[in-house]
Structure 1
Amino acid sequence: MSEPPPGRMARLKQRSAEVAEFLRVLPEQVPMIGRALHQLLHVRLLDCATRLAAQSFLSALPALFVLAVFAPSSIRDGVVHSLRHELGLQGQAGESVQQLLQTGKDQETGFGVVGALVTLLSATALSRAVQRVCERCWELPKSGTRMAAWRWLVLLLVWLVVLVFQAPLRNGFGLGGWLGIPLTFLAACALWWWTQHLLLARRVRWLPLLPGSLLCGVAVIGLGLAARIYLPRAMTRSVQQFGSYGVVFTSLSWLIVLFAGLTLAIAMGRVIAEEPQIAHWLGGRTEPGVWGGPRF
């Protein structure tokens, strides 16, 4: 291949230098962009998302199965419906989940209440992981175990209940997506608004948490619509290639994407909340706080 003419190479180098200089001074000209870049580097998005996905798969899903085993058949059917909808479980994958829950129901007496309590307590690992993400996004020190322990269990139970009703909510309780999408958005915003306030132990006021909660609602809606298109085909293809292990691979990958979007929403929510004009409207104080940013 022939090399570009010297004049063209010089123009390309000049253009590259201009772009690099623009990117270098952009955070100084637009402080919000600089804070956003700093926030992304500090939060370590992929690391947090992977940890949350692993904890939800290894601890929260077993707790969900335990809830379905001891709950009435209507709740169990709601669990299956929600899992099928949220993770794209169709055909063989959906039948495997149905069979797993039915097998657990048949062995309920052998499992015992003690086993169920141990499973639920172990599942609070997900709550602890979410708390660490929220604290990292807001650059807060860790809460004491005595202060946070009851919050972990309450969060887990509320999340499990919300998941049971997630599929009917997305369908607008039978009325269609025109109602389901707004309801899902409002429910997601309310859930993540309350989740942040609960796990941060009231160290950040309600209003500064609102931008991140709204972004979480947008992430839930956007990723939910993408899941309807991507997950069923990907899950079917994985099951055909890897059998039951395909459900694990695809589900875990999708959970990483989901939690990456939610972590990004919480992190950017803090950046927006700390904009001087927005911080004034939200009632926050704009002087630097103990943790390197405005303290609310």
Structure 2
Amino acid sequence: MTEPQRGEDGPGEERPGRWSRARSRVAGLAGTAKVLREEVPLVGRALRQIVRVNLLDSATRLAAQAFLSALPALLAVAVFAPAAIRDGVVSSMRDQLGITGEAQKTFQQMMSAEHTDVTQSFGAVGVVVTLLSATTLSRALQRVCERCWEIPKAGTRVAAWRWLVWLLVWLVFLVLQVPVRKGFGLGVWIGYPLLLVFATLLWWWTQHLLLGSRVRWYPLLPGAVLCGGGQVLLTVAALVYLPGAVSRSVAKFGPYGVVFTSLSWLIVLFTAMTLGIALGRVVSEESAAARLLGTPTEPGRWGRREG
């Protein structure tokens, strides 16, 4: 009887195949991750924070609320606004969601409708109802902030006015975003740094407002910087990627292609924002940053309203 050759399967002999090699690699990666968590505490805390926040689920909820309620509110307010504001809304939608070509023409026609026609078909009551329904985005974002900072849910009486105020400021920021990016006519060389400053301030104020002032200002700064930087990078990426993506999607799916691409991009945007807020807390609680920012380290530190 001939003995099995080397490298062949034989009785009582197992040859490490493709799956066993894959399992070995996975086990090696898991071991590396464990070592990183033990030797680099920041990595371990960041991973635990991402799991706690449920990153993709939170981002998808925010994107859906923005698409279904906040964007209609933006349009409802814009059609009653002066022409300059309507033009700002069209430019912002083009840059942020890649609405170009026929979709942009239809959008511009809708925005250029006579105010009397819009008032008769929609009405001031409709605008108010749309704005109130759009606060679902504010509420969803508040829950994300509370989850990131492990803070109990705020009462409705305390938070209700904050939802509407945040929504209105967010709408104003969207209208002004394109002029800011262009540096108010001075050029993008000053526009993008300005956009970074404005976006950082917006997300700094957003966290403080929606958390009900239960977290002091300085610990919120790292998350604001991460969100602001992420928003600027995604703005640049949108200008490069979205026009072509929307055109391909429209060619394949028709008018629904705009919906698919826009919603997918909103998910990417809110994934970056949720990640920024979540990792901002991790950074602010690092020992050196905590001393600099005055982040408290005792358990239950965010349980009560501060200031």
TM-score in terms of structure 2 length: 0.88
Q: How does 1:88-107 map to 2 (within 5 A)?
A: 88-103=98-113, 105=115, 107=117
Judge conservation of contact 2:95–2:235 (CA < 8 Å) in 1. Answer: no
Q: How does 1:1-296 map to 2 (within 5 A)?
A: 18-103=28-113, 105=115, 107-110=117-120, 111-289=122-300
**Which amino acid in the other structure matches residue 278 of structure 2?**
A
Judge conservation of contact 1:211–1:269 (CA < 8 Å) in 2. Answer: yes
1:18, distance to aligned residue in structure 2 (A) = 5.0
1:104, distance to aligned residue in structure 2 (A) = 7.2
Map Cα deviations across residues 233-260 of structure 1 (whole Å, 9 max, x no partner): 0111122222221111111000000000
1:16, distance to aligned residue in structure 2 (A) = 6.4
Could you tell me which residue of structure 1 aligns to residue 3 of structure 2?
Answer: none
For the structure 1 residues 70 and 276, does the alpha-carbon distance in structure 2 shift closer, same or farther, using more than 3 Å as the test? same
1:100, distance to aligned residue in structure 2 (A) = 2.2
- Structure of greater Rg: 2
Judge conservation of contact 1:209–1:269 (CA < 8 Å) in 2. Answer: yes
Structure 2: how far apart are the matches of 1:56 and 1:12? 41
Structure 2: how far apart are the matches of 1:284 and 1:250? 40
Structure 2: how far apart are the matches of 1:37 and 1:65? 38
Judge conservation of contact 2:234–2:269 (CA < 8 Å) in 1. Answer: yes
For the structure 1 residues 94 and 286, does the alpha-carbon distance in structure 2 shift closer, same or farther, using more than 3 Å as the test? same
Judge conservation of contact 1:43–1:136 (CA < 8 Å) in 2. Answer: yes
Q: Structure 1: any 5+ residue segments left out of the alignment? A: none
Q: How many residues align?
A: 293
Structure 1: how far apart are the matches of 2:114 and 2:243? 25
Structure 2: how far apart are the matches of 1:186 and 1:28? 36
Judge conservation of contact 1:27–1:34 (CA < 8 Å) in 2. Answer: yes
Over aligned residue pairs, what C-alpha RMSD do you find? 2.6
Judge conservation of contact 1:88–1:235 (CA < 8 Å) in 2. Answer: yes
Aligned residues: percent identity? 61
SS at match of 2:183: coil
Structure 1: how far apart are the matches of 2:276 and 2:188? 23
1:287, distance to aligned residue in structure 2 (A) = 2.3
Structure 2: how far apart are the matches of 1:94 and 1:195? 30
1:273, distance to aligned residue in structure 2 (A) = 0.4
Structure 2: how far apart are the matches of 1:46 and 1:271? 18
Structure 2: how far apart are the matches of 1:107 and 1:88? 28
**Which amino acid in the other structure matches residue 181 of structure 1?**
Y
Judge conservation of contact 2:38–2:44 (CA < 8 Å) in 1. Answer: yes
1:72, distance to aligned residue in structure 2 (A) = 1.1
**Which amino acid in the other structure matches residue 21 of structure 1?**
G
**Which amino acid in the other structure matches residue 177 of structure 1?**
V
Q: Structure 2: any 5+ residue segments left out of the alignment? A: 1-5, 9-14
Structure 2: how far apart are the matches of 1:270 and 1:129? 18
